[in-house]
Amino acid sequence: MRMPTNEAEQMLAHNSLGFHESTLTGIDANGQNMVLGFEDVKLGERLVKARIIIQGIRSIICNGQVKMAIGLESNDAEVLSVDFTTEQIKLIVEWNDFANHSSHTSSYIFSCGSYELQTG
């Protein structure tokens, strides 16, 4: 079983790090690695910026479909949930387009070799 390796992962393990209602602000892909950027992540009583660095991505599934790449789908992305297992990250995002009065929800499963959480 993978053990928490840094302060952010230790906070997540102790239920002190919360992504619910945070904002997904960036997706930066480079080969089999990806960085997901977030704002307004709950760290205890504070709101902080956070990054999930995903390494060795084997597959990305979005709404049940295999994807080769993903990007920001709208100008606002509210995180509904993030779940971590040993080799997967599950992310559910509500994409809001306020200018067009529309929204939709997408579910992602990242199968990967490893990941790291960073806050700051």
CA distances, 61 to each of 34, 97, 110 (Å): 14, 23, 7
Q: Taking the model in full, what pTM does it have?
A: 0.87
51-90, pLDDT tens digit by residue? Answer: 999 999 999 999 999 999 999 999 899 999 999 988 999 9
Tokens representing residue 21 in the block: 């209602």
Residue with tokens 């990242």: 110
- Residue 94 region by backbone torsions, left for phi larger than 0, else alpha for psi between -120 and 50, else beta: beta
Q: What is the pLDDT confidence band of residue 1, given thresholds at 50, 70 and 90?
A: very low
Q: Which residues pair with 77 in a beta bridge?
A: 95
pLDDT of residue 47: 95
Can you spell out the DSSP letters for 40-97? Answer: EEEETTEEEEEEEEEES--EEEETTEEES-----SSEEEEEEEEE-SSEEEEEEEEEE
Mean pLDDT of 89-105: 96
CA Rg value for the chain? 14
